[in-house]
Amino acid sequence: MVPHCINISEQQLRRAASVTPSPRQLAWQQLEFCGFIHFGMNTFAGREWGDGTDSPRLFHPEDLDPDQWVAALKSAGMRGLILTCKHHDGFCLWPSAFTEYSVKNAPWREGQGDVVTMTAEACRRGGLKFGVYLSPWDRHDPRYGTGRPYDDYYVHQLTELCTRYGELFCVWMDGACGEGPNGKRQVYDWPRYYETVRRLQPGAVLSVCGPDVRWCGNEAGHCRPSEWSVVPAQLMDAAYTAGRSQQADDGTFSRRVDRQDEDLGSREVIAAAGELAWYPAEVDTSIRPGWFYHPEEDSQVRTPGELLDIYLDAVGGNAALLLNVPPAPNGRIAPPDCAALAGLGRKIQNLFALERTGLGELSASGSAEGHLPACAADGRSDTWWQSAPGEGQPSLTLTFAQPQEISCVVLGEYLPAGQHIEAGEIRADGRTVAAFTVVGHKRICRFAPVRAKQVTVCITASRAEPALRLLAVYREQEAE
C-alpha cells in the first residue's frame, strides 16, 4: 500500500504509526466541541485589542450570568468552556494580587466580584469542563519587555488561575507578542510557563503556544482535508506558532486562510521529517466577525447552517472545534447568538442522534486475534476491530436484515494504538458513495441518501493495521 512515487520506507511508516497521544491529549480530543468566551474590558470599550489604558470603571456588567453562557453552549452540544481571564489589554477578570488592573477596582459588585469563580462554578453546575485563557502579551503592565520580572508576574498569575478555580481541562496561550507600554517586546519563557501548568494542573492540555494542542493555522474555521495528529515535532515550537498568529488588529485576520501549510503529515512530509510528535489540531473561530461583542454585528452572526459546515469539517475531520461566543456588556450572550447555537444543536441532532439505523451484522475481510468486527460498534472506547496483520486493503462490512436508507457513516480509530488510516471508501451494496482520507479521532462521511443492505468500509491506504473503535451508520432527518 506504499505508492512507488514516494521514497519512504516501511520502517518510517511504522515509526509514524507508533506515535500515540498522552492521556491528557486523548481526554481533550474526546471533548470534540468547546466554547470560547471572550469577555472583558474590550466588551465595554468597543475594542478588539485594547491598549491597557481603559479605566476599570468601564467594567460594570449589570446582569452577568455565566449559567446562561453554559446553557447556550450546551444547546449547541459543547462539552467545555474556555474563559479569556486576561486579554492583551491586561485587565484581569479575577482579583489578582499582582496588578491593580482588575475587577477589584471596577464598580461591578463594589470591587468584590470574580468572573472566573462565577464561570468555573457555572461550568461545574452545568456539566461543562472549564479552561482558562491568559494572554502572554500584557499591554498595561510596565514589566512587559523586561525579561525575568515580567515572566515572574506572568507565572504568578498562571499560578493564581491554576490553584483557585478547581480542575482545568485546558490552559490556552496564544502567540500574541507586541509592544508593551514601555515600547519593548517580551521574550517569553515558555518552558517555565509549561512547567508551572504541568505541576499545578497535570491533567490540563497546553494549547496553541503549547506542546499538547496545535492551532490549525487560521481563525476562519478552516480545517485541512487531511488533518494529521502525527506531525513533525518542530511544529511544537511556540515561536513557529507565534509567527503565524495575528500581528495587527486590522479586522481581516479572522476570515483569512493561508494555504501554505495545507500538508503537515503526509508520507512526503514524514519521509523528510526528523522527530515526530502527537500534536492534534484545534479549529478556533468566532460566531461573529469579531472576537468580542459589538452591537453592530448582531446581524452578522453565523447561521446554524454555516456553523454546521464548520463543525462537520473540524470535528468530522480529526480536529476539535473551539467556537467563540462573546457575551454582551450586560453579561449575557445576545439573542441572535443563542438562536444560532440552538439551531446548530438541532441540526447536529437531526444528523446524528434521532434515527441511527439498526446495527445489523458486522463482518470483516480479516481480523487480528481478540479484535473482532463487533468491537467497532459496541459503543465502547476501549475495544476495537483491527485488521489481520499484513492484509492489503482490509474492509469492514455491516449487513442489515432489510435494506436501509443511509446518508452518513462515522468512523473513529483507536488512538492509543496510533493514527494509521490514510484513505478509504464507503460502499453501499458494492457502489462507492463516499471517499475519505485520514480518520483519527473521528471522520464524518456524508453522502446523498441511498438504500442498501450492505455498507462496507474499505481501507485503501494505511500506515499499519487499521484499528477502528467506532463505526456508526445514520439516516439524516429532514431539515427543520
Q: Give one DSSP letter per residue of 93-156, joined into a string.
A: SS--TT-SSBGGGSSGGGGT--HHHHHHHHHHHHT-EEEEEE-S--SS-TTTTSSHHHHHHHHH
Residue of 375, 392, 459, 467 lying closest to 20 (CA atoms):
467
Which letter does DSSP use for residue 301 in this model?
Answer: P
361-474 adopts what CATH topology? Answer: Jelly Rolls (2.60.120)
Give the helix/strand (H/E) hosting 406.
Answer: strand 395-413
pLDDT of residue 431: 97
The span from the CA of 417 to the CA of 375, in Å, is: 15
- The confidence score (pLDDT) of residue 72 equals 98
Query: Which pLDDT does position 351 carry in this prediction?
Result: 84
Q: Rounded to whole angstroms, how far apart are CA atoms 94 and 44?
A: 17
Burial of residue 271 (number of CB atoms within 10 Å: 0-12, 13-18, 19+) = middle
- Residue 82 and residue 129 in contact, taking contact as beta carbons nearer than 8 Å: no
Digits of tens for pLDDT over the chain (480 positions)? 444 346 688 888 989 999 999 999 999 999 999 999 999 999 999 999 999 999 999 999 999 999 999 999 999 999 999 999 999 999 999 999 999 999 999 999 999 999 999 999 999 999 999 999 999 999 999 999 999 999 999 999 999 999 999 999 999 999 888 888 888 999 999 999 999 999 999 999 999 999 999 998 777 778 888 999 999 999 998 766 655 544 455 555 344 334 457 899 999 999 888 899 999 999 999 999 999 999 999 999 999 999 999 999 999 999 999 999 999 999 999 999 999 999 999 999 988 754 454 568 999 999 999 999 999 999 899 999 999 998 989 999 999 999 999 999 999 999 999 999 999 999 999 999 999 999 999 999 999 999 999 999 999 999 999 999 999 999 887 655
Residue showing cell 446562561? 68
Q: Give 349's DSSP letter.
A: I
Question: Residue 18 has what pLDDT?
Answer: 96
Domain coordinates in residue numbering, the chain: 10-353, 361-474
pLDDT computed for residue 5 by the predictor: 45
Confidence (pLDDT) at 253: 37
Pairing state between β 443-462 and 361-364: unpaired
Sign of torsion, CA 386 391 393 394? negative
Do the bridges between strand 80-86 and strand 129-134 make them parallel or antiparallel, or are there none, so unpaired? parallel
pLDDT given for residue 168 in this prediction = 98
Mention every residue, 6+ apart, whose C-beta is less than 8 A from residue 369.
none
The predicted model scores a pTM of 0.93
**Fold for domain 10-353?**
TIM Barrel (3.20.20)
